Amino acid sequence: MIGHDVKIQNKQRNALKKLFCGAAAALLISTAAHADYSSHPGAAAFVKTMVEKHNFDRDWVLAILKQAEPKQSILDAMSRPAESVMTWGRYRNIFIQDSRVTQGVEFWTEHREALARAEKEFGVPASMIVGIIGVETRYGRNTGSYRVVDALATLGFDFPRRATFFLGQLEEYMLMVREQGFEPFSLKGSYAGAMGFGQFIPSSYRAYAVDFDGDGKVDIVNNKVDAIGSVANYFKRHGWRYGQPVVSSAVLKDDVDQSLFNAGLKPEKTLAQLDKAGIGSDRVLEPSQKATAMKLEGEKGDEYWLGLQNFYVITRYNHSAMYAMAAYQLSELIAADMQKVTTP
């Protein structure tokens, strides 16, 4: 293992030389124009962790922090995520569009074999995989414009409310680029540091991304097949139940207990308990099945839904009921149009 560690450090030193040679002029400018995260009060502890816990070369880590640029636009975006300021009606219109459905059918058609294989291997419907990629990046058309290093450093060092989480993601990112052989400044993503077709944060990349085309590299940034398999694996690992429903429209009785709505994303009460409290289902479901009751402000008034286990799994991808509903409804529309295309 000592020899392996030396090789790692030598590779990092060689990469460091390229880093400085290729960006020497930029460094001279950026150190004057931007905050230097290598001298941030929290940097010493971070560098120590990377060196002592993960055997990184100290100078390599410092060079990454020195070149990471703070982005005020990222801090602004974190203060106003769409889910917290929009009604369900407005939020839905962002993602449920004819063009996104059409593009979803095209994506499915182009990657029919990989999607069929993912559904068989992981037990996650092809429509759901396509729906997630459609919501996240419009099938790879919008994977983010921020350098991942900049996003994670900005949030890790300059966003105190979630600094611990994002410094953890920066740690995961450095491990990820070492494992996959990526150039650390080459990857771009969202303002929160999510990457690729399915927008995985670094910890999810390392935990759930898979080499689904067998080329020996796990690449959900450039490889659509790997992205398909990785989204499916994520859902399987979070408890997706194949063939089971996702949501049901709620049927309200006169004496409904309103406090049960939007009480949490996790299904906690059985359908029998909810029915007794005045919240029924518009479809026949097993009474012992657990659900969460939701009230969403739609364009034409309030909508009432029951989210089941598979709905909860979608919220593990993004902890928002509106996100999960948008992804599911998009997947259903794509599946319906795909059926028209494939039916003789």
Q: Are 304 and 248 in contact (CB under 8 A)?
A: no
* Contact status, residue 203 vs residue 168, Cβ threshold 8 Å: yes
Q: Give the closest residue to 194 by CA, choosing from 234, 160, 239.
A: 234
Structure tokens at 231: 């989204």
Which of 256, 231, 248 minimizes the C-alpha distance to 308?
Answer: 248
Q: Which of 52, 83, 106, 136 is catalytic?
A: 136
Closest among 195, 90, 93 to 137, alpha carbons compared: 195
- Residue 46 CA to residue 29 CA, distance in Å, equals 25
Token output for 325 = 């509903």
CB of 50 closer than 8 Å to CB of 176: no
Note if 136 is an active site residue. Answer: yes
CA angle (181, 186, 191) in 5-degree steps:
120
Residue among 237, 172, 222 nearest 201 (CA): 172
Query: Active-site residues: which are they?
Result: 136
